[in-house]
Amino acid sequence: MPAESQTIRVRKDGGVARVTLDNPPVNVMSVSLMTELLAFLEEARADEGLKVIVFESANPDFFVAHVDMTLIDAPDAFDALAADAPEGLNVFQAFAETLRRQPQVTIVKLRGIARGGGAEFVVAADMCFAATDRGALGQIEALMGIIPGGGATQYLADRIPRNRALEIVLGADLVDAETAAAWGWINRALPDEALDGFVERIARNIAGLPEGVVAAAKAAFPPTDLRPGLAVENREWAALFARPAASDLIRSGLRAGAQTPEGERNLEALLRQIASISG
């Protein structure tokens, strides 16, 4: 990793990389976090000895809260990353597709909340194991007047039935780890005290498989080609995002406490209250 990395820490051992996300106070998906993650993923692609990547958060309350809402007033902030995005994909979809197509097995160890772009990060990874009492996911974009724009509509539909996906996107509620596991959104929910040991064991077991097995398994289970659906998602998301209502709701959310630990603990209620006032 580049020496100047500020938002992630990487430790490699025995074919496993452990990537700790550390972007206080609530681990928003900022330009710097996305840039550093992409740099790490690019570097990892060339590491033939690396078989597994485990992502976790330094903050036990928040995995990745969501995309940095302050970027509503910095529309050019992602220009450098957008320049490298494949044609037809926005920068958030391009990030998720990079993660989804990583040659290593990617595992999220989920403690805390993953909303919006954070939940898209989770579902783009190969596997996710979550703490029963601490892990939760949500797609809250509808409460901001938009739909998910980083791949969630397509990734959810690829994993779970349409009715569940619509409940997640339009219900815009936080879903606990046990429910998410029952739906197939994540692999499984485990007691918090068992999570570290379980993820460590499966990561080491995968990394210790004979040469070629991981690559063969990933070739035999290729990610579904979702580009047509991603193009539709991007079009619909961009059209909603361009409306004044979306920017007004996002700015109001920030004024009311979004992206603070207190506001993020019950962000859905905060945004619903703002929407009711605005309506």
The CATH number assigned to the domain holding 261 equals 3.90.226.10
User: Can you list the pairs that 253-261 forms with residues at least 24 positions away whose Cβ atoms lie under 8 Å?
Assistant: 253/69, 253/144, 254/69, 254/70, 258/69, 259/25, 259/26, 259/28, 259/65, 259/68, 259/69, 259/70, 260/25, 260/26, 261/25, 261/26, 261/61, 261/62
Task: Indicate whether 3 belongs to any domain.
Answer: no
Task: Indicate whether 155 belongs to any domain.
Answer: yes
Task: Indicate whether 94 belongs to any domain.
Answer: yes
Range of the domain at 23: 8-208+223-278
> Residue 173 CB: number of other CB atoms within 10 A?
16
Task: Indicate whether 217 belongs to any domain.
Answer: no
Residue 275 is predicted with a pLDDT of: 86
Reading the chain (279 residues) residue by residue, the pLDDT tens digits are: 555 679 999 999 999 999 999 999 999 999 999 999 999 999 999 999 999 999 999 999 999 999 999 999 998 898 888 888 898 899 999 999 999 999 999 999 999 999 999 999 999 999 999 999 999 999 999 999 999 999 999 999 999 999 999 999 999 999 999 999 999 999 999 999 999 999 999 999 999 999 999 999 999 999 999 999 999 999 999 999 999 999 999 999 999 999 999 999 999 999 999 988 776
Distance CA 33, CA 17 (A): 17
Task: Indicate whether 108 belongs to any domain.
Answer: yes
The domain tally of the chain equals 1
> Within the chain, what is the greatest distance between any pair of CA atoms?
59
Tokens of 31: 């330009």
Residue 3 is predicted with a pLDDT of: 53
Distance CA 92, CA 113 (A): 19
Task: Indicate whether 159 belongs to any domain.
Answer: yes
Q: By the 8 A CB rule, do 148 and 169 touch?
A: yes
Task: Indicate whether 202 belongs to any domain.
Answer: yes
Residue 198 is predicted with a pLDDT of: 98
